[in-house]
Copies of this chain bind each other. A is one copy, B any other.
Amino acid sequence: MHDQFHTIVIGAGSGGLTVAVGLSSLGKAVAVLEALHVGGDCTNVGCVPSKTLIHQAEERGTLDPEGALAEVRRKRDALREKETHEFGELPNLSLIFGRARLVSRTQVAVRLPEGGERMLQAENIVIATGARPRKLVIPGLPEQRMLTNETVFELPVVPHHLAIIGGGVIGVELAFAFRKLGSRVTMLDSSPRLLTRHLREAAEAIEASLAAKGVELHLNTSVQGYDEATQALHIERNGSVATLHDVDYVLVAVGRQRNLDGLGLEEVGVTFDSRNGIAADSYGRTNVPGIYAIGDVTATSAFTHSANAQGRRVVQRIAFPWLPATTPEPFYPSATFADPEVATAGMSQRDLAARYHPALIKRIRVDLVTQTDRGYTDDLHHGFIIVDTVRLTGKILSVTIVGPRASEMISLFTLAIQERISLYRLYRVVYPYPTFSSGIQKVADAFMRETLPNLRGELATYLRYRWARPARVADVTVPLGARAAE
């Protein structure tokens, strides 16, 4: 092992490993520094255990909840071991456990677990240290009753009454899972609704589904404190106080905090702030040449698939610097594995509002429950497709799907948006019957039906508002907020 590398990657999570595997397979000597576990959040405390739990909860339900939890740990440990072994064996890749700190623009010091420090040098440094759950202080709550996504999968038995604070992706996914495993589940959020980054309709569908499954919801609500003697969680809404009884665990899922501390960013002059993390462009380049940042430690989409995609772009930049850096960053899709699932593609509603005059946007909603035969045969309770499109042209801007297979259906729209395929062209696609995707046919039908008989009016609206800018909104920054690190 040499202390001189082509590239040093700090953090062996989804983003960091993508860079490390990509560059090492191209023959570059890469060091990957990891403070804890190979696989990062995704493998250890994120998507893998949560999706395994969701699947196990579906399969075992209340019959064997402890078996479900044990299986989650078994599969997670097996995957971690496999990945650690595989990445450790890759040629040109050195996996080094320890805590990293930038010393100069080309040097990283690693504090080794066995003690001592090791100094590494490379022309490229990629920071992929991710994020961790934000803490919350709840007066009176003993530490062993407080859970986050980092500890919840260690539970040997399911909670009797689980209070979940935070109605973002993590909170919602785990609410469904633990409810199916038999826990009493109560969700609290200080916002007036769940999933605040999604369309109101999506949040309402999920709220209705949670309620139908027996999950209690308390919105606009904050937590006051906990009384260990009576296992009472005191909450407050609009000035009035209430009590949740028999709460044995509190899961805190109130957003995430970027791992910026102790990295030596100030020392080498990397621009960052605590709200948006490290400033990086769409190819991961920070303000310091040779230093890159990707994944949750930056301000971009906080998903495993976006960290992977960013990692690919960094590999391209580092390995082929002469290629033009002009490929636009993709619109990252999102998926929330609730029941039903919620998936989005294209621009966020915030970006949309910033760039297009509202009169220019035609919104089409197709109900999967009442407008598709699959919704009928499968007794669907909640589901829809909402597409925001440009009037007249049918250009697809933003899509939200709520439904049992939304996370798979959404990629057709990601492709359509990437390839600038309008609803006129989508109209020609034939979907298998009976599927939920045939709702996409109905979206195109509705656009045609509402546009073609009124071409003159649509054209007039288009010409009037195409270059009209909406009132300026605040800068579009993306704090991690209540998002999942997946």
Binding site for B on A (CB under 8 A): 14, 42, 47-48, 51-52, 55, 59, 75, 79, 303-306, 308-309, 327, 330, 332-335, 343, 373-374, 376-379, 405, 407-412, 414-416, 418-419, 421, 425-426, 428-438, 440, 486
Chain B residue numbers with a CB within 8 Å of A409 are 408, 411
* Total copies of the chain: 2
Which residues does chain B contribute within 8 Å of A79, judged by CB atoms? 376
Between A and B, 20 residue pairs with Cβ closer than 8 Å are: A51-B378, A52-B377, A303-B432, A305-B438, A306-B430, A308-B433, A327-B428, A330-B429, A330-B430, A332-B430, A333-B430, A335-B433, A407-B432, A408-B435, A409-B411, A411-B429, A411-B431, A411-B435, A415-B421, A418-B429
Cα distance A335–B374 when bound, in Å?
13
Q: How far is the CB of A130 from chain B (nearest CB, A)?
A: 15
Could you tell me the distance in whole angstroms from the C-beta of A44 to the nearest C-beta in chain B?
A: 13
Chain B, Cβ-Cβ closest to A14? B433
Which B residues are CB-close (under 8 A) to A378? 51, 55
Please give the distance in Å from A251's CB to the nearest CB on chain B. 20
> How far, in whole Å, are A408 and B438 apart by their CA atoms in the complex?
9
A427 CB → nearest B CB, Å? 10
In whole Å, how far is A35's beta carbon from the nearest beta carbon of chain B? 23
Would you give the shortest CB distance from A344 to chain B, in whole angstroms?
Answer: 9
In the assembled complex, the CB of A135 is this many whole angstroms from the nearest CB of chain B, namely 26
Q: Which residues of B contact A415 (CB under 8 A)?
A: 412, 415-416, 421, 426, 429
Measured between beta carbons, the chain B residues less than 8 angstroms from A433 are 14, 42, 47, 303-305, 308, 335, 486
Identify the 9 closest CB pairs spanning chains A and B, nearest first. A335-B432, A305-B433, A51-B377, A304-B433, A52-B377, A412-B412, A405-B408, A309-B430, A55-B378
- Cα(A374)–Cα(B379), bound, Å: 25
Which residue of chain B lies nearest to A59 when distances are taken between CB atoms in the complex? B379
- Which B residues are in CB contact (< 8 Å) with A438? 305
The answer to whether A379 and B55 have CB atoms under 8 Å apart is yes
Determine how close the nearest CB of chain B comes to the CB of A317; give it in whole angstroms. 16
Are A432 and B333 in contact, CB atoms less than 8 angstroms apart? yes
Contacts of A333 in B (CB 8 A): 430-432
Q: A343 and B434: CB pair below 8 A?
A: no
Select which of B309, B412, B414, B419 is within 8 A of A411 by beta carbon.
B412
A436 to B47, CA, bound (A): 14
Cα distance A408–B441 in the bound complex, in angstroms: 13
CA–CA, A414 and B159, complex, Å: 46
Q: Chain B: which residue is nearest A327 at the CB level?
A: B428
Q: A376 — which chain B residues lie within 8 A by C-beta?
A: 48, 75, 79
Which chain B residues border A48 with CB–CB below 8 Å? 373, 376-377, 434
Q: Are B419 and A305 in contact, CB atoms less than 8 angstroms apart?
A: no
CB distance from A57 to the nearest CB of B (A): 12
Cβ–Cβ < 8 Å partners of A440 in chain B: 411
A308 to B, closest residue via Cβ: B433
In the complex, chain B residues whose CB is within 8 Å of the CB of A377: 47-48, 51-52, 55, 75
| Chain B residue with the shortest CB-CB distance to A43 | B373
- Nearest neighbor of A426 in chain B, beta-carbon distance: B415
Given contacts A48-B377, A79-B376, A377-B55, contact A418 B428 (CB under 8 A): yes
Contacts of A432 in B (CB 8 A): 303, 305, 333-335, 343, 407, 410-411
A434 pairs with B47, CB closer than 8 A: yes
**Distance to closest chain B CB from A374 (angstroms):** 7
Distance in Å from the Cβ of A248 to the closest Cβ of chain B? 27
Question: Taking CB as reference atom, which chain B residue is nearest A427?
Answer: B312
Q: A407-B437, A408-B408, A414-B431 are in contact. List 18 more A-B contacts (CB 8 A).
A: A42-B433, A47-B377, A51-B374, A52-B377, A55-B377, A75-B376, A75-B377, A305-B430, A305-B432, A305-B433, A308-B433, A330-B428, A407-B435, A408-B409, A408-B435, A411-B437, A414-B430, A415-B415
Closest CB in chain B relative to A472 CB, distance in Å: 29
> What's the Cα separation between A53 and B59 when bound, in Å?
20
Q: In the assembly, what is the distance between CA of A47 and CA of B432, in Å? A: 11
Q: How far is the CB of A409 from chain B (nearest CB, A)?
A: 5
The answer for the CA separation of A436 and B411 in the assembled complex, in Å, is 11
Contact of A414 among B52, B309, B414, B429 (CB under 8 A): B429
Measured between beta carbons, the chain B residues less than 8 angstroms from A334 are 432
The closest CB in chain B to the CB of A378 belongs to B55
Q: Give which listed residue, B414, B418, B431, contacts A305 with CB less than 8 A.
A: B431
